[in-house]
Amino acid sequence: DQQVKQNSPSLSVQEGRISILNCDYTNSMFDYFLWYKKYPAEGPTFLISISSIKDKNEDGRFTVFLNKSAKHLSLHIVPSQPGDSAVYFCAASARSNFGNEKLTFGTGTRLTIIP
Amino acid sequence: DSGVTQTPKHLITATGQRVTLRCSPRSGDLSVYWYQQSLDQGLQFLIQYYNGEERAKGNILERFSAQQFPDLHSELNLSSLELGDSALYFCASSVIRAYTEAFFGQGTRLTVV
């Protein structure tokens, strides 16, 4: 049962334009959401997160939007840069559920920025 | 550098063998998580330890086991290896039980031949 879904395996965006990566979840217990970026041969690195009490969180070029009613979140990267080319994983956790803090990951979206 | 150290980086072994993967968490982190990433798959949660005790289990096979030692480093033991166990194994650590984010090591690439 895939509780966190990233339905787009890949995305190509022109340099300078906006990249929008999407993620859907099914578990209503999830209350914290994160995006990780992964380069080949490296471990995932934390990018940005959002608590379920918010609907938007911004950090520089990266903004995460959360729509709880739709159980949907998205990551916006503006402007997109060649160094943003990587695999992006959406992850979720149920921090309020004691003993269940593990991150549940989506399958990832490979973002390619075209110069 | 995330501060999480995994050894070895690469491991090639034969079917039926047993291997041990090691993880040193970031200084001060009490929680350690193990994840498996097979080819073109997402990260599958295997198991979590907090301050030496098992906290949560995911889809971890019975042939696999883990432990966290008093110095907080963790080991993942994989036995009776099969070809399908070939994957990247990641360790992550976080400060407290209800964490904000987890920091990942660079992973151990296991190849079973």
As a whole number, the mean pLDDT across chain A is 92
Per-residue pLDDT at B3 exceeds 80:
yes
Give the separation between CA A115 and CA A83, rounded to whole angstroms: 10
Q: Which two tokens stand for residue B83?
A: 């070809």
Q: Which of B101, B108, B111 to mutate to test the interface with A (most CBs of A within 10 A)?
A: B101
**Residues of chain A with a CB closer than 8 angstroms to some CB in chain B:** 6, 32, 34, 36, 41-46, 49, 89, 93, 95-96, 98-108
Contact A104 B105 (CB under 8 A): no
Encode burial over B58-78: b for 16+ CB neighbours within 10 A, e otherwise: eebeeebebebeeebbbbbeb
Task: Examine the pLDDT at A73 and tell me if it is beyond 60.
Answer: yes
pLDDT over 80 at A101, yes or no: no
Per the document, the length of chain A is 115
List residues bridging with B111 in a β-sheet. Answer: B12
What percentage of chain A reaches a pLDDT higher than 90?
82
The answer to whether residue B87 scores a pLDDT higher than 90 is: yes
Pair of tokens at residue A5: 């879904």
Q: What percent of chain B has pLDDT over 70?
A: 95
Chain A residues in contact with B97 (beta carbon < 8 A): 98, 101
The CA distance from B2 to A46, in Å, is: 10
**How does strand B53-57 pair with strand B44-50?**
antiparallel
Cβ neighbours of B92 in A, within 8 Å: 43, 103
Region A51-57: mean pLDDT is: 94
Distance CA A62, CA A53 (A): 19
The Cα B68–Cα B75 span in angstroms is 7
Q: Which amino acid appears at position A60 of this protein?
A: G
Angle at B85 between CA B80 and CA B89, to 5 degrees: 115
- Only one residue has tokens 């578990």, namely A27
Band (B55; pLDDT cuts 50, 70, 90): confident
Q: Do B33 and A104 touch (CB under 8 A)?
A: no
Write down the pLDDT at residue A102. Answer: 79
